[in-house]
């Protein structure tokens, strides 16, 4: 969650000088190179045929959906604005966990998650995150697809392993990513400042790859719905990084929202969630 909390500010910085499609998909192509090295070096066997459709669903969410739609949106809105809407991601992940992985959150869990969601939405109202904009629809699509990718990949990690899931997803997506990235690089160019390239490097190496080592492993151990609620704290951290890195202001409302969100996270970690047995 900490690794992912830098994603929106870094993406916002990257798309300030680079094409958003190049950023959204190019980050995964860079990460695919590292993933291929890891898979070869550790002599991983190909996933079983029954795993491939689930890897494709995971790729739709975390390789194509969230990175691409969020990059398109962050050309038009600040990272802080996007962070508030991304606060819906834990609720979406929990819903997807019920649909895709058979988890059944208890009423107490749902209530705690709802409290966290109310805290995020209340923060949006009190802060005046901005009037609804067309870019908000792009972020909502990113959140829906991101929740799907988190839930599917987290459930699959119980069978394949956390880092193996994201590695195979990246490598199998590379043939689709390569022509699009080359096309956008040729059409828009690669001229950018050093801070922009560092931001691109972060979303490529950390947000798209290394961060998922811990994230999918945690979901495999603790359950998709429960671990997904830890991301309730991500929007508040993202707003903090946006203030430090992009010059946006930090307010008292932010601190109050942080306390409410962390309390909701603590409650979700104590509430029961029924999980299916892993073969």
For residue 8 the two structure tokens come to 């929106």
| Range of 44-48, 81-85, 126-130, 275-279 with top mean pLDDT | 44-48
Mean pLDDT of 245-253: 68
Which of 88, 76, 95, 73 has the alpha carbon at shortest distance from 123? 88
List the single range of 167-176, 246-255, 264-273 with lowest mean pLDDT: 264-273
Tens of pLDDT, residue by residue over 176-223, are: 999 999 999 999 999 999 999 999 999 999 999 998 888 888 877 877
pLDDT tens digits for range 20-58: 999 999 999 999 999 999 999 999 999 999 999 999 999
Domain ranges of the chain: 4-271
Higher pLDDT: 267 or 183? It is 183
3-state secondary structure the chain: CCCHHHHHHHHHHHCCCCCHHHHHHHHHHHHHHHHHHHHHHCCCCCCCHHHHHHHHHHHHHHHHHHHHHHHHHHCCCCHHHHHHHHCCHHHHHHHHHHHHCCCEECHHHHHHHHHHHHHHHHHHHHHCCCCCCHHHHHHHHHHHHHHHHHHHHHHHHHHHCHHHHHHHHHHHHHHHHHHHHHHHHHHHCCCCCHHHHHHHHHHHHHHHHHHHHHHHHHHHHHCHHHHHHHHHHHHHHHHHHHHHHHCCCCCHHHHHHHHHHHHHHHHHHHCCEECCCCC
Q: What is the pLDDT of residues 88-117, one digit of tens each?
A: 777 777 777 776 666 666 777 677 767 766
pLDDT of residue 250: 59
User: Whole-number mean pLDDT of the chain?
Assistant: 81
CA-nearest of 154, 173, 164, 182 to 273 is 154
Q: Report the distance separating Cα 42 and Cα 162, nearest Å.
A: 14
pLDDT score at 255: 62
What does the pLDDT read at residue 279? 47
List all residues 6 or more positions away from 162 whose beta carbon is below 8 Å from its beta carbon: 212, 213, 214, 215, 216, 217, 218, 219, 220
More confident residue, 182 or 244: 182
Per-residue confidence (pLDDT) for residue 132, from 0 to 100? 56
Say which residue, 162 or 273, is predicted with more confidence. 162
CA 71 to chain CA mean position, Å: 12
Over range 166-170, report the average pLDDT. 95
Q: Is the predicted pLDDT of residue 65 greater than 70, yes or no? A: yes
Mean pLDDT of 137-158: 87
């Amino acid at each position: 969650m900490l690794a992912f909390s830098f994603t929106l500010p870094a993406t916002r910085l990257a798309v300030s000088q680079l094409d958003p499609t190049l950023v959204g998909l190019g980050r995964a192509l860079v990460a695919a190179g590292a993933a291929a090295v890891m898979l070869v070096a550790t002599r991983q066997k190909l996933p079983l045929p029954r795993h491939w459709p689930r890897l494709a669903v995971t790729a739709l969410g975390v390789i194509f959906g969230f990175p691409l739609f969020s990059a398109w949106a962050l050309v038009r809105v600040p990272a802080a604005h996007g962070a508030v809407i991304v606060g819906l991601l834990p609720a979406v992940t929990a819903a997807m966990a019920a649909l895709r992985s058979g988890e059944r959150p208890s009423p107490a869990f749902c209530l705690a998650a709802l409290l966290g969601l109310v805290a995020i939405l209340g923060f949006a109202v009190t802060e005046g995150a901005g009037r609804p904009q067309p870019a908000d629809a792009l972020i909502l699509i990113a959140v829906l697809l991101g929740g799907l990718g988190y839930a599917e990949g987290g459930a699959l990690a119980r069978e394949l392993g956390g880092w193996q899931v994201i590695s195979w997803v990246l490598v199998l997506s590379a043939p689709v990513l390569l022509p699009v990235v080359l096309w956008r690089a040729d059409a828009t160019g690669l001229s950018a400042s050093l801070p922009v390239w560092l931001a691109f490097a972060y979303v490529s190496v950390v947000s798209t790859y290394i961060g998922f080592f811990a994230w999918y492993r945690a979901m495999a151990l603790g359950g998709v719905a429960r671990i997904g609620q830890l991301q309730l704290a991500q929007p508040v951290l993202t707003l903090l990084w946006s203030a430090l890195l992009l010059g946006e202001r930090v307010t008292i409302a932010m601190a109050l929202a942080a306390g409410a969100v962390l309390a909701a996270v603590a409650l979700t970690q104590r509430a029961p969630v029924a999980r299916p047995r892993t073969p």
